[in-house]
Amino acid sequence: MSSSNFLEHRGFLMPSKYYDKDKLEYICNEFQVRDHDAFSITYPKSGTTWMQEILTLIQSDGDTTISHTVPNWERVPWLEPTLFSTNLESLPSPRFMSSHLPVHLFPKSFFTSKAKVIYTVRNPRDVLVSLHYFSKTAGFLDELDNIEELLPKFLKGEVLGGSWFDHVRGWLGVKDQVNLLIVTYEELLQDLRGSVVRICNFLGKELNEAAIDSVVENVSFKNMKDNKMSNYSTFPKDILDIQKSPFIRKGISGEWKNHFTPAMSESFDAAYKEAMNDINFKFIWDQC
């Protein structure tokens, strides 16, 4: 994954084709967050598309009309890339939006608003594996790296999204000051229904049992993989080519165990421990 493909802006690394500094500065300094906004924020490859689907279906009370007719990037539109043309300012409230921004680049107006953030986090070892496969799908990433070569770059933050550690530490650092719900990819896998209910409660959205059933059914791995409006099959192939590697690919936790050698595991654990030992927060993957 060559760093020449990236725009680096205050520690945030993104494809230079689809991001620019002026827009990032505009979003940070001028974008007006509204009290009824809700954001899905992720480090890349952590369950962004999954959360977009969950939010779409919660917003529509489990009705699938929108999730089956409108592509996911329009349903929960992106805040910061230049790639998409949705005019966020013209959207009616409540707006649901997606972002990969680290906390220090997030709109300043958010921090004085009542808006909500759902921060989806995934075991970084699986993020790394997912990113490796994604580099085959994404025309804007070099796919030269094998996972072993990608690992030190990931640990140094020289990959799509910049440093996982900084991203997660940054958002955890404000969790008690803003309206923030932390959801892990792993808990979505373990207890999807319970997670959907938790997200509904956080958003103040009351869904009846049938609507919750519909959300859970329609955001399953299989249904999303088959849904053309969620699987990126309609996206321009020069940007994402799902024939090379599917976007909705494997959808499991712990895949890293099949890819990490003991030495890779050891170096990852050491870096993780050093970066995360003072965060005072335990993730599911920290318990074992």
Residue 49 found at the interface with ligand A3P (CB under 6 A): yes
Residue 235 found at the interface with ligand A3P (CB under 6 A): no
Residue 48 found at the interface with ligand A3P (CB under 6 A): yes
Residue 44 found at the interface with ligand A3P (CB under 6 A): yes
Integer Cα distance of 27 and 278 in angstroms: 30
Q: Which stretch binds ligand A3P (CB under 6 A): 13-21, 28-36, 38-46, 278-286?
A: 38-46
**Smallest separation (angstroms) from ligand A3P to the CB of 49:** 3
If the CB atoms of residues 165 and 256 are measured against ligand A3P, the closer one turns out to be 256
Which pair of tokens denotes residue 87?
């005019």
If the CB atoms of residues 109 and 246 are measured against ligand A3P, the closer one turns out to be 246
Integer Cα distance of 171 and 174 in angstroms: 6
Q: Which stretch binds ligand A3P (CB under 6 A): 6-14, 41-49, 87-95, 139-147?
A: 41-49
> Tokens 């970084």 label which residue?
124
If the CB atoms of residues 66 and 113 are measured against ligand A3P, the closer one turns out to be 66
Residues of span 241-260 touching ligand A3P by CB under 6 A: 248-251
Positions marked catalytic = 100
What residues line the site for ligand A3P (CB under 6 A)? 42, 44-50, 126, 130, 133, 219-221, 224, 248-251
